[in-house]
Each structure stands twice: as structure tokens, then as C-alpha cells.
């Protein structure tokens, strides 16, 4: 918009300036040239000022972003509890104020410099104007020009200088916009590393064979560390496969590769024998529904929160309620002031807040609403209490009936219900089998299982707690 506006101003002022140049030419053909030369310092100053402003903007991007982050910490409710408990308000306020003071001081220095150089350029133009007026006055005294000529010349030259300054200012603004647009176009020229095949293979409507991670190695862009290292895993069609392992083992990366957010650096991920790179990404993603590890909390009504996973269904209230029942959140929704029409979050309206476990169940309902043949659940019970987790796990088989399911979890009590358990460590499959098989092998899974179960056992040497102690606890 700025380019269009300043381009129009250049055209308008240029036409007027040509007319004034014709008026000045009758006093001497060199006068329009002098008019141009007298305003060239303004052009130089404008270009230099815009360059320095662009440089300041680029150099301070990190500090401005950091100041914005501190502003969010100080004003958003998510951080309020820790800020109050640890008395961090003053600390982050000081960091914010320090950054803003530095930014303001640098901006003020830039503005002072711009004012000084612009004043110098204007002074040069005024000196030229004064000399020309003296010259024309001298001509009028000698009778070579009239008083009317003097007035006409002054008005034309003064107006011409103003138009030239406006014209050059427009050029400067276009130059400044071009500097910023260069960054914009560089961003728009970025291309996805996930390419759409020229002739994509039609995706199967149902999974008949399964998913196969075939010798997959992958590292995230900008990282030198492999997230997956020669990873091999087959997820049979219609089976529930759990993936367990320590943090950073590469478990969540499997979902990102399944959804083709990234492509493997080596190896392939295959769906019924078809390399995912041969499928249209949009068509592939329609086949998958996912509960991510950190699902989004949409500030919208409950019904809209659930319906967002499949907008093609529209506002099918029956399907929405069925998904909510599957996730175990229906009863909690009915206790809200307006049921499924209750607004959630505090951004857009005076809405209601949910607990962490309830938000997770709502995200589960969103995932279940999309009737896709492949379902991936990343830590689906991490925010649930033990009662809700047990109830949900008891219904898990019914919920995923007829689907192929990938379950990522840290909880072995969840993993043990799977048809197959894959133990991942350092981006590799180290064990695979059923819960019973893995226990008999005595490997990493069995060691972790025994450590968890022993930690849950009461110590035999400890005296039983008294009733008063239990009640107090």
C-alpha cells in the first residue's frame, strides 16, 4: 500500500513540477537544473536516513522480540502463578524496562541524527533560494526584471523546492519500503522441503497392510544430532502399537514423519507399501488423526474446539457429543454454564477455564471426531488423574476398533495394553514384543517395569501409618 500511495504522489507532484519548471525556464534554462541540484542533498539525506533506520530495525530485532516476550510473561495468566510464588515480577519487569530503555535511547539517537542532517539539507536549499532572490532583486533594480517577475519567480522556485522535497521524500519512502519488502520476498520465496509429487499415487481408503518405517534416519533442520538412527518398525494394520522410551529418544518424531511434516534424510516411511513421498500430503493427512503431546487450547466454544479437526462435518452436534463421550469429557462439559456452547479461555470473551486433564480430554475428543483409519496418540493420559486414566484405558480398545493406532507413552501401565510394544532409545529400536515377552527377556523394558512397580510397593520395613496420619495426608 505504501508503494502504491507514494508512487501516486510521485506522479502527481511530477506533473506539477514540470509545469513549474516551464515557468522558471523563462528566467533562464539553468534555473530548473539549479532547482534540482539544490534539493539533491535532501535526496541523499533521505536515502541515508532510511538505510540507517532499516539497519537499526534489523539490529534490534532480537531485543524487540525479547522485550515482547517479557511483556507476555508479565501480562499472560499462564506465568502468573510462578511469577507470584518466586517473586519474579520485578525481575522480568527490570529486564523489560532495561531493553526498552536501550531501544528508546538508540531510536532517539537515530532521530536526532536524522533531524540534524535534514536541517543541514534544508539550510542548503534556503541559501540557494536566498542567493537567487538577491540575484533577481539585483536584476529588478537594474530594470531587467519587474517586481511581478520577482514575486512570480519566488513563488515558483519556492513551490518547486517544496515539490522536489516531497518528490524525493516519496522516492525515499519507496526505497525504505523496498528494503523491508526484500525481507518479505525472501520469506515468501522459502519453499517447503516436503514436496508434492507431480503425479501422486492415490491414497488407500483403508489400511490393509500397515505402516513400515524402513531404515529411517532423520535429523531436524539446523541440528547435527540424529533424532532417528536407522529406525525400523512395522505397525500392522488394525493393531495398537505402543512406543516407549526415555525423553529425547525420538518417539514424537515418528508422528511428525507420519504426517509428512518432514521427510526422512535416509530410508522411507511406507503406507501399505507406498512411500509417503509418493502421496499427496493433504490426502495423506486426511487419513490420520493425531493427539499431539501439547495440544492447542482454542479460545472458542466447546463444540467449536471439538469440530476443528474435521470442518467438513460442519457443526454436527451428534458427532461432536459422541466424540466427547469417547474421550470421557461429556459429563464435565454438561456441568459448564452453557454446555457445548460455553466459551473457553479468557481472550475473546468471559469464558470458562478447564483443568489440564480436561483440556487434554477435549483434544482427545477433537482427535476422535475425525474418522481416520490411522490414529496417533502422543502421551494421551499425561494430564489425567489415575481414575480418569483407568476409565479411559478400559475403553481404549472400543475407541480405536477398526483403526490402526500408534500410542506414544511413558507409562508402562498404558503401554501394556498394546498389541505390540516398541522400546526406543537414542533413535533406535532396542526391543520389540508384547508386554509378557519383554518382561521375560529382562531387557530395558523389564528393568524399567520392575523399577516402577517396586517404587509403588510399600516398604516392608516401614511401620503401617496410623489412621490419624492417613487422614492428615
SS3 399: helix
Helix (H) or strand (E) holding 113: helix 89-141
pTM for this entry? 0.70
Rounded Cα–Cα distance for residues 184 and 440 (Å)? 59
- Grid coordinates of 300: 472458542
The pLDDT > 70 percentage for the chain reads 81
pLDDT band at 263 (very low <50, low <70, confident <90, very high): very high
User: Where do we find the cell 516407549?
Assistant: 244
Model confidence at 472: pLDDT above 60:
no
Mean pLDDT, range 279-297, rounded to an integer: 89
Mean pLDDT, range 328-349, rounded to an integer: 86
210-456, CATH topology level: Rossmann fold (3.40.50)
Q: Which regions of 325-427 does DSSP assign to beta strands (E)?
A: 374-378, 404-408, 420-425
The predicted structure's pLDDT at residue 214: 93
Q: Which residue spans of the chain are classified as CATH 3.40.50.300? A: 210-456
Determine contact, residues 118/49, Cβ cutoff 8 Å. Answer: yes
Model confidence at 53: pLDDT above 60:
yes
SS3 311: helix
H helix intervals, 142-287: 147-188, 251-258, 281-286
Model confidence at 163: pLDDT above 50:
yes
Mean pLDDT, range 79-96, rounded to an integer: 89
The predicted structure's pLDDT at residue 35: 64
- The string over 371-388, giving b where at least 16 C-beta atoms fall within 10 Å of a residue's C-beta and e elsewhere, is ebbbbbbbbbbbbbeeeb
Alpha carbons within 13 angstroms on the beta-carbon side of residue 331 total 2
Q: Which residue spans of the chain are classified as CATH 1.20.1560.10? A: 2-188
Mean pLDDT estimate for the chain: 82
- Grid coordinates of 350: 468471559
Q: Which CATH number fits domain 2-188: 1.20.1560.10, 3.40.50.300, 3.90.1300.10, 2.60.40.2470?
A: 1.20.1560.10
Q: Which of 270, 286, 288 is nearest to 278 (CA)?
A: 270
Q: Which of 249, 229, 256 is nearest to 444 (CA)?
A: 249
Rounded Cα–Cα distance for residues 406 and 404 (Å)? 7
Distance of CA 252 to the CA centre of its chain: 19
Strands 420-425 and 428-433: antiparallel
Q: List the Cα angle 227/229/232 in 5-degree steps.
A: 115
Strands 210-218 and 228-236: antiparallel
The predicted structure's pLDDT at residue 370: 87
Model confidence at 294: pLDDT above 80:
yes
Least confident of 169-173, 251-255, 414-418: 169-173
Number of other residues whose CB lies within 10 A of the CB of residue 468: 8
The predicted structure's pLDDT at residue 455: 63
pLDDT band at 156 (very low <50, low <70, confident <90, very high): low
- Grid coordinates of 462: 516401614
Strand partners, 422: 243, 432
Rounded Cα–Cα distance for residues 456 and 427 (Å)? 29
Least confident of 123-132, 350-359, 437-446: 123-132
Reported as a single tens digit per residue, the pLDDT across 137-147 is: 766 666 666 66
The predicted structure's pLDDT at residue 100: 93
The predicted structure's pLDDT at residue 47: 76
Distance of CA 363 to the CA centre of its chain: 20
Determine contact, residues 443/431, Cβ cutoff 8 Å. Answer: yes
- Phi first, then psi, for residue 156 (nearest 5°) are -70, -45
Reported as a single tens digit per residue, the pLDDT across 407-438 is: 998 888 788 888 999 999 888 999 999 989 99
Determine contact, residues 201/192, Cβ cutoff 8 Å. Answer: no
Model confidence at 185: pLDDT above 70:
yes
The predicted structure's pLDDT at residue 467: 41
Rounded Cα–Cα distance for residues 161 and 34 (Å)? 10
Amino acid at each position: 500500500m505504501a508503494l502504491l500511495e507514494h508512487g501516486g504522489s510521485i506522479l502527481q507532484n511530477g506533473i506539477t513540477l514540470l509545469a513549474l519548471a516551464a515557468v522558471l525556464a523563462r528566467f533562464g534554462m539553468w534555473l530548473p537544473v539549479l532547482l534540482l541540484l539544490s534539493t539533491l542533498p535532501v535526496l541523499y539525506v533521505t536515502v541515508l536516513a532510511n538505510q540507517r533506520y532499516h539497519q537499526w530495525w534489523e539490529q534490534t530485532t532480537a531485543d524487540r522480540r525479547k522485550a515482547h516476550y517479557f511483556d507476555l510473561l508479565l501480562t499472560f495468566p499462564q506465568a502468573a502463578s510462578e511469577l507470584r510464588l518466586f517473586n519474579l515480577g520485578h525481575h522480568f519487569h527490570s529486564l523489560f524496562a532495561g531493553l526498552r530503555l536501550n531501544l528508546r535511547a538508540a531510536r532517539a539517537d537515530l532521530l536526532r541524527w536524522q533531524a540534524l542532517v535534514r536541517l543541514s539539507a534544508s539550510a542548503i536549499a534556503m541559501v540557494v533560494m536566498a542567493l537567487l532572490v538577491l540575484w533577481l532583486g539585483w536584476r529588478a533594480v537594474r530594470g531587467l526584471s519587474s517586481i511581478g517577475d520577482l514575486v512570480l519567480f519566488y513563488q515558483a522556485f519556492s513551490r518547486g523546492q517544496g515539490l522536489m522535497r516531497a518528490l524525493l521524500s516519496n522516492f525515499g519512502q519507496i526505497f525504505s519500503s523496498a528494503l523491508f519488502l526484500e525481507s518479505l520476498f525472501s520469506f515468501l520465496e522459502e519453499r517447503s522441503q516436503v514436496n508434492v509429487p507431480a503425479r501422486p499415487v492415490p491414497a488407500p481408503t483403508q489400511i490393509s497392510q500397515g505402516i513400515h518405517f524402513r531404515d529411517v534416519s532423520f535429523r531436524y533442520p539446523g541440528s547435527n544430532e540424529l533424532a532417528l538412527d536407522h529406525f525400523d518398525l512395522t505397525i500392522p494394520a488394525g493393531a495398537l502399537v505402543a512406543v516407549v522410551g526415555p525423553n529425547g529418544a525420538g518417539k514424537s518424531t515418528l508422528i511428525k514423519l507420519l504426517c509428512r511434516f518432514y521427510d526422512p534424510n535416509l530410508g522411507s516411511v511406507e503406507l501399505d507399501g507406498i512411500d509417503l513421498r509418493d502421496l499427496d500430503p493433504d490426502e495423506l493427512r486426511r487419513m490420520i488423526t493425531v493427539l499431539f503431546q501439547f495440544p492447542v487450547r482454542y479460545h472458542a466454544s466447546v463444540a467449536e474446539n471439538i469440530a476443528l479437526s474435521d470442518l467438513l462435518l460442519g457443526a454436527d452436534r451428534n458427532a461432536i457429543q459422541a466424540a466427547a463421550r469417547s474421550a470421557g469429557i461429556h459429563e464435565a462439559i454438561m456441568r459448564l454454564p452453557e454446555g457445548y456452547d460455553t466459551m473457553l479461555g479468557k481472550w475473546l470473551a468471559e469464558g470458562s477455564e478447564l483443568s489440564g486433564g480436561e483440556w487434554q480430554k477435549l483434544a482427545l475428543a477433537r482427535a476422535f471426531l475425525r474418522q481416520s483409519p490411522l490414529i496417533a496418540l502422543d502421551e494421551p493420559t499425561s494430564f489425567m488423574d489415575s481414575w480418569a486414566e483407568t476409565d479411559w484405558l478400559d475403553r481404549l480398545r472400543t475407541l480405536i476398533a477398526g483403526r490402526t493406532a500408534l500410542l506414544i507413552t511413558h507409562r508402562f501401565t498404558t503401554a501394556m495394553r498394546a498389541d505390540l510394544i516398541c522400546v526406543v532409545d537414542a533413535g533406535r529400536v532396542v526391543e520389540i514384543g508384547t508386554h509378557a515377552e519383554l518382561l521375560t527377556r529382562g531387557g530395558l523394558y523389564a528393568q524399567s517395569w520392575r523399577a516402577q512397580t517396586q517404587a509403588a510397593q510399600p516398604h516392608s520395613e516401614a511401620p503401617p501409618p496410623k489412621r490419624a496420619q492417613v487422614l492428615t495426608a
